[in-house]
Amino acid sequence: MFGTEEAIMYWGDFTIQQAAPLLKIPFSVTTLEKCKETHILVAVFQLSINEIRDKAPLKLFYDRLWSNDELFINDRSNVSWELVRKTPVDNSTNKTWEDQRMIVPENEDIPTARVMVYSIISHYLATGERLFRSTHIRCSDADPHEPRSRVYVGGFDKAGLDILSIWDVLSLDDVGISSAWKH
């Protein structure tokens, strides 16, 4: 779990209005117990990927980040609790985007790159564990320059977390799909 205390420690304070969605965890104890080995419960603050990169205490990203004016890089969305999978969805590599979407569990959604980057970097800061070291995961964001491509993140090795895009029709052995429990 990466809760509000950890979020404040690594990302700074937030206002009472921002905290309101975090007062109640939207997942049942049964769901949390069922997912404790496969998912991370994350208190997601209202930070963009650019803000995460700038606030991180270490160099945690590859240098080839997208242009700073891309919408998905600057998306701040809402404060929320997310229950994010720590590995790609089972059997999701070597599949196209359409095939991957079909195997996402019914009770889960495909998260944005922002949620995945926040979760991966936050988990690393709190535990030292690098999720998605040798794999990448497609996110729900379309590449703004190539609508038939998805943003994907991963390859989180000592050089940092990589953020790229891949055509929807490609299937690679190191590219799976991410998921998070629906609220």
Torsion 127-130-180-150 (CA) sign: positive
> What percentage of the chain exceeds 70 in pLDDT?
97
* Closest of 113, 80, 75, 115 to residue 3, by C-alpha: 80
Largest CA distance in the chain: 44
What are 64's two structure tokens? Answer: 């080839």
The per-residue pLDDT for 124 is: 96
Instruction: Give the distance, in angstroms, between the CA of residue 142 and the centroid of all CA atoms in the same chain.
Output: 15
pTM over 0.85: yes
pLDDT-above-90 percentage for the chain: 66
**So where are the chain's domains?**
4-181
Structure-token pair, residue 71: 């919408």
What would the two tokens of residue 41 be? 């419960």
Distance CA 139, CA 122 (A): 17
Distance CA(72)–CA(170), nearest Å, equals 22
Q: Which strand ranges, in their side-by-side order, compose the sheet holding 39-44?
A: 39-44, 80-85, 180-181, 108-109
| Residue 175 binned pLDDT confidence (cut-offs 50, 70, 90) | very high
Could you list the beta-strand ranges (E) of 48-130.
80-85, 108-109
